[in-house]
Amino acid sequence: MNVLDVLEERGYLKQMSHPDEIRELLGKEKITFYIGFDPTADSLHVGHFIALMVMAHMQRAGHRPIILLGGGTGMVGDPSGKNEMRKMLTPEFINHNIECFKKQIGRFIDLSEGKAIVANNADWLLKLNYVDMLRSVGVHFSVNRMLAADCYKTRLASDNGLTFFEMNYMIMQAYDFYTLHKNYNCVMELGGDDQWSNMIAGVELIRRKDRQPAYCMTNTLLTNSQGQKMGKTVGGAVWLDPEKFSPYDFYQYWRNIDDADVEKCLALLTFLPMEEVRRLGALQGAEINEAKKVLAYEVTKIVHGEAEAEKAKNATEALFGSGSNLDNVPTITVRKDEWGCRLLDLLAENKVIATKSEGRRLMQQNGLSIDDAKVTDVDTLVDDALFADKESLMLRKGKKKYYRLVRG
């Protein structure tokens, strides 16, 4: 089966540079393709998830992925979707993030010898001679066409405008594709649909400069049924790093998505057969909760491993089902030196709340409770009166997030 049929059936594909040629190519050859990841943080997030899944499907079909880490492009920053210039990152920060990305990507992609390539565009971009770059690459770019691209047009119309510094990003990304084509016979770039203009630039550079075929495909972005980007919570992004977003919270995020988004997420974010995806997506009423359980488990298993998925599932069943084992519920142990502190401070220190302001709002809006009793006093202390001779308390944040407070 042509992998393009798999990607289309599951809803990944958005745009293709040469649809007929791409279908023929993927049907008869095993190609080398790439997806780039700029290391702007020390963890990948849910926004990267679809691109990683596309890469995994391509690899399973026998095609070889190149994971391109943006040690060079990260020094400039992609202006796409930004209202102002990105903060300049230090080389040390970028290199640290790259090492974090490598560990996470290994959960999705087989990085063993011959199965994939991990490259860093700092290896060629940081060595470029500026005048040579202008002469060999710059002559192939029309400024008029660049300014018409969505990634630049939006910024040009904003109050902040567009710096010459950022305008170079498209050329750098195009040069990445050109270099990977020369070094590894890479013939296709994949990525999110917000990267279309940058990706087309690489295709055209190869076709103009080397007169060789090159292609690109974009995947749909992860949005809900209202067209809004998924992967955000009150506390920030849904990170793939368990230290930044726990497996339990990750499981709960997918367990609590809107009913209308379940089938789409099952298709995009799991490897379940489409027959099963359609069966689960067709469930109605209370039965859709069974589909959400499957989604949460499968996605957590892919990102964090089967053991963590089991823990999250068991913890959820202990709270909402007939189970009685609470060992897997996130636990906060109150140390002796913390006894008598404010509950607000304890929750902020343990990242239950992103900020104390968020905690105050939760309390004021009846969004925080302990053993089913609302906590509305922002000066509530963690002391004997709160525990009332109990060894542990069950704290609920919002409707679905639970934590245990345990005497240290």
Which of the residues 32, 233, 376, 380 is marked catalytic? 233
Number of residues that make up the chain: 408
Which of the residues 182, 207, 232, 400 is marked catalytic? 232
Which of the residues 59, 73, 173, 218 is marked catalytic? 173
86 in catalytic set: yes
218 in catalytic set: no
252 among annotated binding-site residues? no
Give the Cα separation of 203 and 189 in Å (integer).
Answer: 8
Indicate the DSSP class of residue 220. P
User: Between the CA of residue 276 and those of 222, 272, 294, 381, what are the distances in Å?
Assistant: 21, 6, 11, 49
Which of the residues 45, 244, 404, 407 is marked catalytic? 45
229 in catalytic set: yes
Which of the residues 48, 292, 313, 396 is marked catalytic? 48
82 in catalytic set: yes
173 among annotated binding-site residues? yes
Residue 389: CB atoms within 10 A of its CB come to 5
Alpha helical stretches, state H, 160-220:
164-184, 196-209
169 near 146, Cβ under 8 Å?
no
Strand partners, 394: 404
User: Between the CA of residue 139 and those of 149, 214, 281, 384, what are the distances in Å?
Assistant: 18, 19, 51, 74
Strand partners, 66: 34, 117
Which of the residues 42, 194, 241, 345 is marked catalytic? 194
223 in catalytic set: no
Tokens 């047009």 — which residue? 153
34 among annotated binding-site residues? yes
107 in catalytic set: no
Q: Which amino acid is at 260?
A: A
184 among annotated binding-site residues? no
40 in catalytic set: yes
Which of the residues 15, 18, 32, 40 is marked catalytic? 40
232 in catalytic set: yes
Strand partners, 381: 342
Q: Which residues are annotated as part of the binding site for ATP?
A: 232
Instruction: Cite the active site residues.
Output: 40, 45, 48, 82, 86, 173, 194, 229, 232-233
Q: Which residues are annotated as part of the binding site for L-tyrosine?
A: 34, 169, 173
Q: Which residues are annotated as part of the binding site?
A: 34, 169, 173, 232
